Amino acid sequence: MAEFAVELRDVSKRFPGPSGEIVNAVREVTLQIKDGEFFSMLGPSGCGKTTSLRMIAGFELPTSGEVYIHGKPMGQTPPYQRPVNTVFQNYALFPHMTIGENVGFGLEMKGVPKAQRTARVQQALAMVRLPGYEARRSRQMSGGQQQRVALARALVNHPEVLLLDEPLGALDFKLRKEMQLELKRLQREVGITFVYVTHDQEEALTMSDRIAVMSGGRVLQVGPAFEIYERPNCRFVADFIGESNFLDATVQDVQGPTATVTLTGGLTVYANTDLSLTRGQAVTVAVRPEKVGLRPYEGAQNAFPGRVEEIVYIGTDTHYSVMLNGDQRLRVREQNEDPYSRPLANPGDAVTVYFDQAAARVLTE
């Protein structure tokens, strides 16, 4: 068994666009998805995540590069000869068949005898918590139920890899939360590699072992949720996953992991970096709003006076928009620990914002 369940090597896909132009949907993507991993491809619409997934499934063929499944190059292999199954965004259940026939379709195509098929369909439906639904039709079921059937229909074939194309996109918020946990449970139970496409960062962070963040047809960063969130490698990732303040700055000095930079307004910020920077280089400093505080604390390397411009109460937290002395705006997010959720400052108040050197990250891209 090869080391990787799925591997994309230098895969590109170009389409002719609606008015004759060439659309570069996927550009030289290289990805290695480990066996048994819950892997997510995350990005805004049009970033190439769905096209990448469709190339693994075989619905699209790469313009260049190669897709490998367990070490085997897929080449021109049609979808019906690939050891993968797909769960579609709109479920794509066969409306003219019963649920039992839907789930049993893959086994029927493989030539599994009827008796065995019935037993496995029953098992698969029980696994997605829809036991005894064989005789129903898809239009008699809710969106969440249809999605479970689509899952059962794919998993009953024991694919080597399960591909999921925004499977929860059409469900309402509560149900989506529920299905996220359900999917994670199923993945642990069956131990199959899941490749999950989503534009919902929270969904990706909740479920995935590793995430590939994509934009403009390229993979920008691959890593576990923690790494993607805490150590984004570029401005896009820092902005797309969660929230970030971006401060324009110039490098003053670098000593080990500590970079000293000057903001355009003249303030000096200590930030963490793992890049090789040169003095005078123009950079961006990214700071997460929740890692900045209005309450003073011991050992904060960065402390800047400013004035509150606006506050927004959002239940668990309150957002403060602070204009630092020197024309840089910083969003600060403070948890409402106070039993009456009294704000720490009001618009117009002079405040000091505090944050660690480790909370600030130097980005060059």
Partner 1 sequence: MTKRRSPWLRLTALLIYGFLYAPILVLIIFAFNASRTNIIFKGVIAEQGPYRLEQDVVQSAPCGPFHWFCQLPNNRELVNAARNTLVIAFTSTLAATIIGTMAALALQRYHFPLKTFSEVSLYIPIVIPEIVMGISVLTLFSAVFSYLNTALPAASRLSLGLGTVIVSHIAFSVPFVALVVRARLHGFDRSVEEAAMDLGANEWITFWRVTLPLIAPGVLSGALLAFTLSLDDFIITFFTTGPGATTLPIYVYGLLRRITTPELNALSTLWILIVFTALSVSQLLQRRSA
Q: Name the minimum Å distance from CB 269 to partner 1.
A: 50
One-letter amino acid at 130 equals: L
> Does residue 194 interact with partner 1 by CB under 8 A?
no
> Does residue 85 interact with partner 1 by CB under 8 A?
yes
Burial class (CB in 10 A: 0-12, 13-18, 19+), 219: buried
Q: Name the minimum Å distance from CB 359 to partner 1.
A: 44
Interface with partner 1 in residues 38-57 (CB under 8 A): 57
> Does residue 106 interact with partner 1 by CB under 8 A?
yes
> Does residue 79 interact with partner 1 by CB under 8 A?
yes
> Does residue 342 interact with partner 1 by CB under 8 A?
no
Q: Name the minimum Å distance from CB 220 to partner 1.
A: 28
HEC per residue, 223-286:
ECHHHHHHCCCCHHHHHHCCCCEEEEEEEEEEECCEEEEEECCCCEEEEECCCCCCCCCEEEEE
> Binding string to partner 1 for residues 114 to 153, with x set by CB under 8 A, is what?
---------------------------------------x
Query: CA dist 359 to 46, 156, 231, 285, 356, Å?
Result: 31, 46, 10, 10, 5
CA neighbours closer than 13 Å in the CB half-sphere of residue 192? 22
Number of residues in contact with partner 1 under rule CB under 8 A: 25
Burial class (CB in 10 A: 0-12, 13-18, 19+), 297: exposed
> Does residue 88 interact with partner 1 by CB under 8 A?
yes
Q: Name the minimum Å distance from CB 106 to partner 1.
A: 4
Query: How many Å apart are CA 352 and CA 339, to the nearest integer?
Result: 23
- Out of 92, 277, 323, 344, name the contact with partner 1 by CB under 8 A: 92
Contact assessment for residue 258 and residue 270, using Cβ atoms and an 8 Å cutoff: yes
- Out of 94, 253, 268, 347, name the contact with partner 1 by CB under 8 A: 94
> Does residue 110 interact with partner 1 by CB under 8 A?
yes
Contact assessment for residue 353 and residue 293, using Cβ atoms and an 8 Å cutoff: yes
- Out of 21, 95, 276, 298, name the contact with partner 1 by CB under 8 A: 95
Interface with partner 1 in residues 55-74 (CB under 8 A): 57-59
> Does residue 105 interact with partner 1 by CB under 8 A?
yes
Query: How many Å apart are CA 357 and CA 260, to the nearest integer?
Result: 10
> Does residue 174 interact with partner 1 by CB under 8 A?
no
106 or 306: whose CB is closer to partner 1? 106
Query: How many Å apart are CA 164 and CA 207, to the nearest integer?
Result: 13
Query: How many Å apart are CA 94 and CA 100, to the nearest integer?
Result: 11
Query: Which residues of this protein are in contact with partner 1, per CB under 8 A?
Result: 16, 57-59, 78-80, 84-86, 88-90, 92-96, 105-106, 109-110, 153-154, 157
